[in-house]
Amino acid sequence: MPSLSTEVMLVTVSDRAWVGAMLEVEAALARVESRLGLIPERAAEGIAEHCRVDEFDVAQLGKAAVRSANPVIPLVNALRAAVPRDAAPFVHRGATSQDVLDTAMMLIARRGLDLVIADLGQAAATAASLAERHRSTLMAARTLLQQALPISFGLKAAGWLNAIVEARSELIRVRRTRLALQFGGAAGTLAALSDRGLDVARELATELDLPEPVVPWHTARARVVELAMALGIAAGVAGKVALDVVLLAQTEVAEVTERAAPGRGASSTLPQKHNPVEAIEILAAVRSINAQIAGLQSAMLAEHERAAGAWQAEWPAFAETLRFAGGAVSRLASLLAGLQVEPERMRRNLNLSEGSIMAEQVVMMLGERIDRVMARALVDTAVTTATSTGRSFADVLREDKTIGAHLNESELGSALDPGRYLGVSDALIDRALVAYREQAT
């Protein structure tokens, strides 16, 4: 079955990666405590030397974790068995299981965020190119899935671009300010380290290049949810673009298509079909990530100083959140890079209403000459006549003597020209491009 992720993200959140991150925390703790004179230097070297994931049976650790309700206990036991005998008593000194696992989660989050942020950067670059290149590519805007007014495809792409830029900016902020070391000992007091607990926490944060929190956050899980929400927003942005593409790629619309390749988007039974598979997988990933975020939010209800079940529920949900977000955003970058835009089809669809899509413009121009309410009534009547008789809106307008008394042929031609009713689209595209370039630098 499709993973709805990427190979690199799957590796980043794999069981092996979690074990590797936990060992990274144990090695850093030993080095810091050695520098502070809390454990012998030789013991720290012996511990760090064996904090290599290849030395451990990841699958067996997973099985053993069932007996203790977390994977840190069997890992620490295995590490103590692997290091020199005189170093074993100093493994994991002053830490609790949640310190190691939560800090490992932050390390995995940082690596996963870097992947998502990079893919969002690629998606933004392509969206910016589409916005610039299609400034004058006219199409119909749809509101409530009905044709509304003319816009440019460049403006649509600029809307995508700005949403991507904002999502990326939020992930960058979360990465910079909301990841944090977890180190509080058994109950958040660091009592096992006497009066050196804060020294160890400070140095450990520096060693792992993670911010030091004000206090341990064992049962204050807002940062985990905030991280998940930022990933969910990024996936949701990808989903919005994907949904637009799915709708625009319908046979009856055919204004965009995904890139073609042998076998890509094929149907098992229908030779003629070209399914928008990247957009479809993005939408599947978004629907999947929402459930994970809800689970992480519910895990905020944690009892006293250590949660019974809520914390344990976070690990798979957090990994899945990264997995689905990575898949959605990576596919977004690929989707935009291969998007085939069909300007002629866009113009053809824009003309389907035979001019009635310009009704608002006619009302606006007519309303400058007569009462606005009367102008609207006249245009409403013209639209109804055109629809009921099957005649073009333009012809009905030209034959209406009341309207003709106030708008001459040239003015009516201008009112019916979609390219003359784009408002401040160019300025909006420019603003989106400026915001993108400011973030990119």
Would you name the residues annotated as active-site residues?
267, 306
Contact between 246 and 277 (Cβ < 8 Å): no
First to last CA, the chain: 39
**DSSP-derived secondary structure for 124-143:** HHHHHHHHHHTTT-EEEEEE
Report the C-alpha gap between 354 and 371 in whole angstroms.
26
Q: Measure the CA–CA gap between 315 and 296, rounded to whole angstroms.
A: 9
List, in order, residues 6 or more apart from 55 with CB less than 8 Å away: 82
- What ranges make up the beta strands (E) of 338-438? 340-341
Rounded to 5 degrees, what angle do the CA atoms 385, 387, 391 make? Answer: 75
Hey, what amino acid is at 420? R
Question: What does residue 405 show for φ and ψ, rounded to 5 degrees?
Answer: -70, -20
Q: How far is CA 70 from the centre of its chain?
A: 29
Cα dihedral 30, 36, 41, 43 sign? negative
* Residue 242 in tokens: 């994907």
Phi, psi at 104, each rounded to 5°: -60, -40
Which amino acid, 308?
A
412 closest CA partner among 359, 335, 346: 359
Q: How many residues does the chain have?
A: 441
Question: Using an 8 Å Cβ cutoff, are 436 and 161 in contact?
Answer: yes
DSSP 281-311: HHHHHHHHHHHHHHHHHHTT---TTS-SSHH
